[in-house]
Structure 1
Amino acid sequence: MQQTGSREPQRIAKLLARAGVASRRDIERMIAEGRIAVNGSVIDTPATLLTSLHGVTVDGEAVQAAALARLFLFHKPAGVLTAARDPGGRATIYDRLPPDLPRLMPVGRLDLNTEGLLLMTTDGELKRQLELPSTGVERAYRARAYGAVTQEQLESLIEGVEIEGVRYGPIDANLERRTGANVWIEMILTEGKNREVRRVLEFLGLRVSRLIRTRYGPFVLADLPEGAIGEVRQHDLVAFRQSLGRGRAKEVAREQPIAVQGGAPARLPRSRPEQPPRERAPRPATPTPRPARPSAGTQKASARPERPPRPATAATLQKSGGAAPSASRARGPVRKPEVREELDTRPVAGEPTARAPRPKKGVGWAKAKPKARPTKPRRPRS
């Protein structure tokens, strides 16, 4: 990675773009307007070579040295322009970004109706490396199109195709599935020319109804919500830039995908003031013995009040043999088992039959016998 403070002379537009002032095109426009000066002298050409930004001012303010490059992943919604401003008043990506972010530049562009992953960085040099076809950074798209196409037609795109005098490079296209009259197609390319995916599919007789970019190099869209933005960790970005220098961008992109979580940009945790340790009371050398806890049976016995003895009645005196009940029999006299007397229920001549006594309910209960009818004495035969 080229450092801003190196002794190798570089164009002033490149240095200012790396410092996050503006894009190279905007810097060239600012130079033509006379807004940039070096050591107090206004420059008039973007070809001015410098070794550092020392003494460079923009609108009279000194330019700070370039900080570490930062990279963000943004899920661009459909119907939003990839531009800083629109003369027609349409919504742009900067209208959807949080206001507390640094100045970000989009890496490449997505059409108005194209959605998906959009890389945004603070470093103009990193932006240039990611956009150049010579670095071989892959872009993956998923397209929903109306019409009929075969896998053989899609495989023919691997050799490139020329449409209306424009030559498009190799495209790795695969048919994912069919849903009624529509087809879903995955396409991987390395150039990313203007409306390349749409024009190639229209050349095959298809009409694109939805286009999503799912990957840019090793950076994937994953589950990033629509309209959300997340920052790539610094060590992942450094490892990716090293792979670009070794020409291993394709291998790293397929082996180690990088995703981020949606929400606010990553921030360092807030430092909390140090608090003195809490003073704890010293424990006693001999622990205080706890009172014995009564058992459950003891608690129930103590909680239940004693019943007073019942007064002696004639019935209880007769059953107990004339003695009054003691305190141990406070809950009532003991019932003695009843003795049933067997009665002779056979009918006797000349006397009505007596009804048998019915046993008490609960003690030897049985079904009552049928009633016996009285019989008349027979008259002797003459």
Structure 2
Amino acid sequence: MRINKYIASCGVASRRKAEELILNKKVKVNGKVVEELSLQIDENKDMVEVNGVKISQDEKSVYILLNKPEGYITTVKDQFNRLSVVDLLSKVEERVFPVGRLDYETSGLLLLTNDGDLTYKLTHPKHEIEKTYIAKVRGKLTEREIKDFRSGLHIEDYTTAPAKLKILDYDNEKKISTLEIKIHEGKNRQVRKMCKAINHPVMRLKREALGELTLKDCKIGEYRHLTEKELNYLKNI
């Protein structure tokens, strides 16, 4: 088994993060620092260490849906000592990491797991699933802005894929629009950048759904384990 896949299967990190650990010389196999990303190991014989800790595939796989509040980061560690989403999982004994990310100011649906293979699948561009957001933005959108948003916007060094946009409400007194936005991509702060590109900056943003998964029966700051039906859905995408 390739070393990054083995690390992911042990619930330490995704395959991509595992490669970063290897490049940073944080991984050893049988006492020797791993130099090659393509290294193949025998999971039944070789001893693998990450950051000096021996890892194994014994840990059971867990799959968690969290309703993330604003003010939490989706990385495990932070140089500014801000709260992490893992701080909300005090009763979860297994090491888990987020599938994708939600930025610090964004709330809503976030998956966490120690299944590196599923994380790799769900974050790979080939398998990007539809993400539904509710955004409160400044101002009232014009028909032209709506058309541009739906067609794709040039942001920084890329053009977004066509997106779905629905106007849910407009508060004439506060000059605030409530939008339902659906995208397939998952680039950093993409929804915020798209709204800014049409001159309607985001004031509040929440992810309501990930494909068929929703926040039903999960209040802000709370989490639950995925049902068998939900897990089968993700694995069969």
Q: TM-score, normalised by structure 2?
A: 0.87
Q: Does 1:118 align with 2:110?
A: yes
The structure 1 residue matched to 2:83, chosen from 91, 99, 105, is 91
Q: Is residue 135–residue 204 contact of structure 2 (8 Å, CA) maintained in 1? A: yes
Q: Does 1:202 align with 2:196?
A: yes
Q: Is residue 155–residue 172 contact of structure 1 (8 Å, CA) maintained in 2? A: no
Distance, in Å, in 2 between the alignment partners of 1:53 and 1:159 is: 51
Q: Which amino acid aligns with 1:14?
A: K
Q: Which amino acid aligns with 1:135?
A: H
Provide the residue aligned with 2:70 in structure 1: 78
Q: Which amino acid aligns with 1:77?
A: P
Aligned ranges 1:221-260 → 2 under 5 Å: 221-242=215-236, 244=237
Distance, in Å, in 2 between the alignment partners of 1:209 and 1:169 is: 23
Give secondary structure in 1 for the equivalent of 2:181: strand
Aligned-pair identity in percent equals 28
Provide the residue aligned with 1:49 in structure 2: 40
Aligned ranges 1:1-382 → 2 under 5 Å: 10-24=1-15, 25-26=17-18, 28-29=20-21, 32-33=24-25, 35-38=27-30, 41-50=32-41, 52-58=43-49, 63-65=55-57, 69-151=61-143, 153-180=145-172, 181-242=175-236, 244=237
Q: Which amino acid aligns with 1:233?
A: T
Distance, in Å, in 2 between the alignment partners of 1:226 and 1:202 is: 26
Distance, in Å, in 1 between the alignment partners of 2:112 and 2:176 is: 32
Q: Which amino acid aligns with 2:205?
A: L
Shift of 1:36: 1.7
From the two aligned structures, give the one with the greater strand fraction: 2
Shift of 1:44: 2.7
Q: Is residue 17–residue 27 contact of structure 1 (8 Å, CA) maintained in 2? A: no
Structure 1 65/219 Cα, relative in aligned 2: closer, same or farther at 3 Å? Answer: same
Distance, in Å, in 1 between the alignment partners of 2:24 and 2:182 is: 40
Shift of 1:65: 2.5
Shift of 1:48: 0.4
Distance, in Å, in 2 between the alignment partners of 1:53 and 1:116 is: 40
Q: Which amino acid aligns with 2:35?
A: D
Q: Is residue 22–residue 34 contact of structure 2 (8 Å, CA) maintained in 1? A: no
Distance, in Å, in 2 between the alignment partners of 1:106 and 1:87 is: 18
Q: Could you give the per-residue CA deviations for residues 112-135 of structure 1, whole angstroms, max 9, x where no partner exists?
A: 111111111111111111112321
Moved more, 231-240 or 115-124: 231-240
Structure 1 54/150 Cα, relative in aligned 2: closer, same or farther at 3 Å? Answer: farther
Shift of 1:15: 1.3
Distance, in Å, in 1 between the alignment partners of 2:86 and 2:230 is: 25
Distance, in Å, in 2 between the alignment partners of 1:68 and 1:201 is: 41
Gaps of 5+ in 2: none
Provide the residue aligned with 1:300 in structure 2: none
Shift of 1:185: 0.5
Residue correspondences, number: 233
Q: Could you give the per-residue CA deviations for residues 201-259 of structure 1, whole angstroms, max 9, x where no partner exists?
A: 111111211000000122111241111110012353124312x1xxxxxxxxxxxxxxx
Distance, in Å, in 1 between the alignment partners of 2:177 and 2:233 is: 37
Larger Rg: 1
Q: Which amino acid aligns with 2:135?
A: A
Distance, in Å, in 2 between the alignment partners of 1:178 and 1:217 is: 26
Higher relative contact order (CA 8 A, sep 6+): 2
Q: Could you give the per-residue CA deviations for residues 240-290 of structure 1, whole angstroms, max 9, x where no partner exists?
A: 312x1xxxxxxxxxxxxxxxxxxxxxxxxxxxxxxxxxxxxxxxxxxxxxx
Distance, in Å, in 2 between the alignment partners of 1:238 and 1:66 is: 22
Distance, in Å, in 1 between the alignment partners of 2:221 and 2:90 is: 10
